[in-house]
Amino acid sequence: MYYFNKKLTLICCTIFLLNNAKAQQAPKMQLSISQVWDKVSANNKAIKMQDLRVQRTVEGIKDAKAERLPEITADGQYSKITNVPIYNNGLLKAHTEYEAVHTLYSFGGDAYFNLYNGGKVNVRIDEEKKESEIATEQKNLTTEEMKLRATAYYLDLQRSHIFKDLLLKDISTQEKQLEEIKQLLKNGVILKSDVLRGTLKLSRQKMSLIQLDNDILIANQKLNILTGLPDETVIEPVDDEKSELPVLKPYADYLNDAMEHSYAFKISQKETELSKLDIKNVKANGAIKLGLFTNYNYTYPQILLYPYSMAIYGLGFSGIKASIPISALYTNRHKVKAAELKYKQQEVEHADTEDRLRQEVNESYLRYKEALIRIDVAKENINQATENLRIVNNTYFNQLSLITDLLDADTQLLQTRFDYAAARIAAQLQYYQLQKAIGNL
């Protein structure tokens, strides 16, 4: 048993030293949470994709506006023509062949300017603008989601560093305590099993230290990917353990902020408005279409009027064109009904989004209040565990309690310190979740 513990301790120390050596070689960067957000906004790939979507919708608006311009086309034709065979006595008999003009060509252009088509051009422009607004809000929502995810990784990294510092201090204390226990064994005051139990606990602590090192490396890489930093970059969170946590405002204030600033709520609202525009677009299918047109062509030879002439001629015409899609009276009716039903569905979805938003704000608000209370409880637990360890430590070294009591008291104190650090980290994360819910992250 002693040999196994000694070997495990050696392995743990080796891995720990290798991890430290690797960390020392890697570039280090101390970042605050706001600096992490800045890097996420600038480098995150999900946000860049949404930014490209916004740029695409801007081009869509320009394309829709271009439909107001006249449609202009140019065309030309060139061909070679054979002689004209005349079969007076049928296809199987001899025929008479007449010479024809062998070259034929024409070129010209035409234009059409829309005057009215039921307002479809204006509706499409409004739709493209609404799509652009939705894309912008979606980009903002994605930015918030990426910031919150980066915050979770950042706080996880910060918590692991705090746990590691606490564990290193506890290991140092346990090593000194183990030396005192070994001295008691030499004096014949205690049994060898006390030393073995102390050694076993120390080995477990060192194994936990390796796990924490790996947790730090994993969280660090996740944060590097989100912020666009190289994988080998070591991020050192700013220590704000003593900083005061934000004070809660009344719940009604958060709810009002959410209804005004929440990006998810804005997206749902604009999608509802887009569905309403779609009804106008479908109804325009049955409207009269009115436009100006013009055409001019040069043709060779002149075979439009008799007598024909082997010369080039030009012909143009212009006017106003109107058309009424009569079939739309019965084919467009169901499309309008479908568009109206889609709009009603979107209204229900918008109401559902509002319900989910209220629920999210309420849950985040209550969880943050709970986290603040948990911090106070954790503080009190540390005081109680510290006093308990002091009492048990005195009684053990005076041979009035067992080694198990001492080890349990040590573990309880370390656990309460872990709980306090974890409670502060959890409270910060809950607060940022609340800010994300109201669109203020």
Helices 192-227, 2-25: axis angle to 10 degrees equals 20
φ, ψ (nearest 5 deg) of residue 108: 175, -160
The band of 3, judged by pLDDT with boundaries at 50, 70 and 90, is very low
**For residue 329, what pLDDT is reported?**
83
Question: Of 322, 262, 254, which is closest to residue 141 (Cα–Cα)?
Answer: 262
**For residue 9, what pLDDT is reported?**
53
How confident is the prediction for the chain on average, in pLDDT?
87
Q: Which carries the bigger pLDDT value, residue 20 or residue 397?
A: 397
Reported as a single tens digit per residue, the pLDDT across 345-391 is 999 999 999 999 999 999 999 999 999 999 999 999 999 999 988 99
**For residue 23, what pLDDT is reported?**
46
Reported as a single tens digit per residue, the pLDDT across 249-299 is 999 999 999 999 999 999 999 999 999 999 999 999 888 999 999 999 998
Instruction: Name the one residue in this structure whose structure tokens are 């086309």.
Output: 73
Beta carbons of 428 and 245 less than 8 angstroms apart: yes
Distance, CA of 216 to CA of 235 (rounded, Å)? 10
The band of 97, judged by pLDDT with boundaries at 50, 70 and 90, is confident
φ, ψ (nearest 5 deg) of residue 197: -65, -40
Beta carbons of 224 and 27 less than 8 angstroms apart: no
**For residue 10, what pLDDT is reported?**
54
**For residue 241, what pLDDT is reported?**
63
Whole-angstrom CA distances from 136 to 57, 153, 343 are 9, 26, 22
Q: Tally Cβ neighbours within 10 Å of residue 341.
A: 11
Classify the phi-psi angles of 308: left when phi > 0, otherwise alpha if psi is within -120 to 50, otherwise beta. Answer: beta
> Does the pLDDT of residue 240 top 80, yes or no?
no
**For residue 159, what pLDDT is reported?**
92
**pTM of structure:** 0.81
> Does the pLDDT of residue 199 top 60, yes or no?
yes
**CATH classification for the domain delimited by 2-69+117-288+324-437, as one of 3.40.50.2300, 3.20.20.10, 1.20.1600.10, 3.40.50.10490:** 1.20.1600.10
Measured CA angle at 157 (ends 151, 163), to 5 deg: 135
Measured CA angle at 73 (ends 72, 77), to 5 deg: 160
Domain-wise residue ranges, the chain: 2-69+117-288+324-437
Per DSSP (E only), the strands in 36-124 are 71-80, 84-86, 96-98, 103-116
β-bridge mates for residue 293, sequence order: 112, 319
Whole-angstrom CA distances from 104 to 85, 296, 407 are 18, 17, 106
φ, ψ (nearest 5 deg) of residue 94: -65, 150
The band of 2, judged by pLDDT with boundaries at 50, 70 and 90, is very low
**Once rounded to an integer, what is the mean pLDDT over residues 435-439?**
92
Question: Of 339, 334, 349, which is closest to residue 276 (Cα–Cα)?
Answer: 339
Chain-centre distance of CA 248, in angstroms? 27
DSSP-based three-state secondary structure for 178: helix
**For residue 259, what pLDDT is reported?**
92
Percentage of residues in the chain with pLDDT exceeding 90? 53
